[in-house]
Structure 1
Amino acid sequence: MTESKTEPTTHTGRGTGTDAVTVRVPAKVNVQLAVGAARPDGFHDLANVFLAVGLYDEVTVTPADELRITCEGPDADQVPLDATNLAARAALELARRYGVEPGVHLHIAKDIPVAGGMAGGSADGAGALLACDALWGTHASREELLDICAELGSDVPFSLVGGAALGVGRGEQLRTLEVGATFHWVFAIAERGLSTPAVFREFDRMNEGVRIPEPVASQELLDALAKGDAGALARAVSNDLQPAALSLFPALADTLAAGRNAGALAALVSGSGPTTAFLAADAESARAVADALRASGTCRTVRVTDGPAPGATVV
């Protein structure tokens, strides 16, 4: 962990002279998720190619007498409003490092699917961290913000950075990737969520006794991103967690088939699921895939967007 370069001082929580800061932060899709064997610490080494896409949560922070969280938007009732929420953990860790009283109201406006494999909780953590840094005037360096993000979870650093990146280690060690064009995506939102830890446990169960190779990023996929070649990207996308997600949620196979039959270039489970992601050739094709998915009855709702999208941004 990287400690602050200055001795902690006490702040009042109004470092910018403003009464509210709002940060917009994107969802992600994993265009490659290569998973290694379970490590002694319970995590898995990953080669995780992230692409940020244009579905956003917004986190607004205002001074308050004590830390509290509110949430609105689709499935907001499923979002924890206590210290287990990554937004709360982010605020508390930044406050601890800088001697700030963590009296802040965190309001999350959800638009990223909850428990959907698109890093909505991680996005909220990164958004709260950047917003509190601006509200309190702590002026944390980019490196320290990323260090706090890595403590919070494997996907949180990418939520801060956005764009496209390769994550290694447990996904938190990032290398920014070049993207040569806009890619068009359709996301089918499932009727219920999936627990990321449960999907990893199922991955371990399904691979018990199997020698799992070290995860490595596909050069074909990295080249396709850099060239902006949707066809080549479609041939290279992969998700090692997809069999485990399908084992726990077999109906996702019908959603994947519906998208493929509608002309999607590629269909895969997004991260640990259960959101399914469909790469389309262009915006018109994406709309056609979305219409077919809506008519298929295999999902709750459908979203159309594109990427790459910028990371956490003060608005």
Structure 2
Amino acid sequence: MIQTVTARAPGKINAYFRVGPPREDGYHSVASLYLAVSLYEDVSATGRDDEEIHVSLHQNSTAVADRDSFPLGPENLVVKAATMLREHTGHYAGVDLCITKRVPIAGGMGGGSADAAATLVACNALWGTGLNREELARLGARLGADVPFALYGGAAVGLGVGDDLAPLLLRTRTDWVLVPASYGLSTPRVYGMLDRLRANESVTTPTEVDPAMIGALLEGDLDKLAPLLANDMTRAALALAPELGVVRDLGEAAGALHALVSGSGPTLALLARNQEHGAQIITQLSDEAGVATLQVHGPVPGTVILPAFTDSL
């Protein structure tokens, strides 16, 4: 009987994101506070009789506007993740990988990294390769700094290039309204713009996330937290897509406690007081400006295997 394993991984927002100057290796050191939120990617892995890796999109992939242009070849992170796991373990089995995409593509929320994390967990279970979460995270880090966090979920401080993770034992829920754009922004392009904007500025390497911000988040004090939310990438994203500033202002005018770009953008994250307040913000943005939104909360767990009877919702 052909077996299928489905894994679900969360998208993330960066509630805090400081970026250092470019390093000799071309990367940037960062200080980030990652928050896994309730917007998920699913990857179903089904065994094959050969050694081929085949990728498809599930019909419920709400984040994909143009299915024909979505890359399903070797450049897709799910293919890279499955290939890497095979090479690492020597288990050269084939697999059909079906992705259900809900996280905005190239939106600064780590959707591709969530796909990679889900693929590692699903294939590890399907093939019985027996790697633990820490081993999968080390593999995933080779695909991108956000992959280990998608595996662990919750909340974490990320240093280095973002993959040096320190879990944050956060029990307080925060509610957010996401405003996805109809386009994506290339992460390298946004970093490049940030470097150009700061060419004549003195930029230091960040070594920590603001302790006051962490304290406010742990306490659940949203009035303290809101002004401490920060993202150095915002100015670069706004330089590349000035209309984001208009939407940000609309969000704050609708009652959001703070609006910031997540990661490299262009997704905007609006902090709400609670779920009901978030619904009010959504109503106002929809009625007065016709802005499309998503309501999420965090923190949520990292990548999990779904029960066999659970379909991709």
TM range (shorter): over 0.9
For 1:187, give the aligned amino acid: L
Provide the rounded CA distance (Å) in 2 between the counterparts of 1:210 and 1:235.
23
Does residue 95 of structure 2 align to residue 104 of structure 1?
yes
Alignment of 1:42-121 (within 5 A): 42-64=26-48, 65=50, 66-72=52-58, 73-76=61-64, 77=67, 78-121=69-112
TM-score after normalising by structure 1: 0.91
Does residue 243 of structure 2 align to residue 251 of structure 1?
yes
Deviation at 1:191, TM superposition (A): 2.0
TM-score after normalising by structure 2: 0.92
2:8–2:41 CA contact under 8 A, matched in 1 = yes
User: 1:43-76: CA deviations, max 9, x gaps?
Assistant: 0001010000000111000012310111131243
Provide the rounded CA distance (Å) in 2 between the counterparts of 1:307 and 1:141.
25
Provide the rounded CA distance (Å) in 2 between the counterparts of 1:227 and 1:175.
18
The match for 1:198 among 189, 194, 216 is: 189
What SS does the corresponding residue of 1:152 show, helix, strand or coil?
Answer: coil
User: Structure 1 residues 20 and 177 mapped into 2: Cα distance closer, same or farther (>3 Å)?
Assistant: same
Extract unaligned runs of 5+ from structure 2.
307-313
Instruction: Tell me what 1:6 maps to.
Output: none
Aligned residues: percent identity?
42
Provide the rounded CA distance (Å) in 2 between the counterparts of 1:28 and 1:222.
17
Instruction: Tell me what 1:312 maps to.
Output: 303
What SS does the corresponding residue of 2:179 show, helix, strand or coil?
Answer: strand
Instruction: Tell me what 2:281 maps to.
Output: 289
Alignment of 1:1-315 (within 5 A): 19-64=3-48, 65=50, 66-72=52-58, 73-76=61-64, 77=67, 78-215=69-206, 216-297=208-289, 299=291, 301-315=292-306
Provide the rounded CA distance (Å) in 2 between the counterparts of 1:186 and 1:245.
19
Provide the rounded CA distance (Å) in 1 between the counterparts of 2:290 and 2:235.
18
2:77–2:116 CA contact under 8 A, matched in 1 = yes
Deviation at 1:100, TM superposition (A): 1.2
1:26–1:309 CA contact under 8 A, matched in 2 = yes
Instruction: Tell me what 1:8 maps to.
Output: none
What SS does the corresponding residue of 1:153 show, helix, strand or coil?
Answer: coil
User: Structure 1 residues 231 and 102 mapped into 2: Cα distance closer, same or farther (>3 Å)?
Assistant: farther
What SS does the corresponding residue of 2:41 show, helix, strand or coil?
Answer: strand
Deviation at 1:298, TM superposition (A): 6.5
Provide the rounded CA distance (Å) in 1 between the counterparts of 2:72 and 2:63.
13
2:9–2:151 CA contact under 8 A, matched in 1 = yes
Provide the rounded CA distance (Å) in 1 between the counterparts of 2:30 and 2:290.
30
Deviation at 1:102, TM superposition (A): 4.3
User: 1:226-256: CA deviations, max 9, x gaps?
Assistant: 1122222212100000000000000001110
1:254–1:298 CA contact under 8 A, matched in 2 = no
2:63–2:102 CA contact under 8 A, matched in 1 = no
Provide the rounded CA distance (Å) in 1 between the counterparts of 2:276 and 2:13.
20
Provide the rounded CA distance (Å) in 2 between the counterparts of 1:298 and 1:36.
37
1:117–1:274 CA contact under 8 A, matched in 2 = yes
Provide the rounded CA distance (Å) in 1 between the counterparts of 2:281 and 2:237.
22
Provide the aligned length of Structure 1 versus Structure 2: 298
Extract unaligned runs of 5+ from structure 1.
1-16
1:231–1:281 CA contact under 8 A, matched in 2 = no
1:29–1:52 CA contact under 8 A, matched in 2 = yes
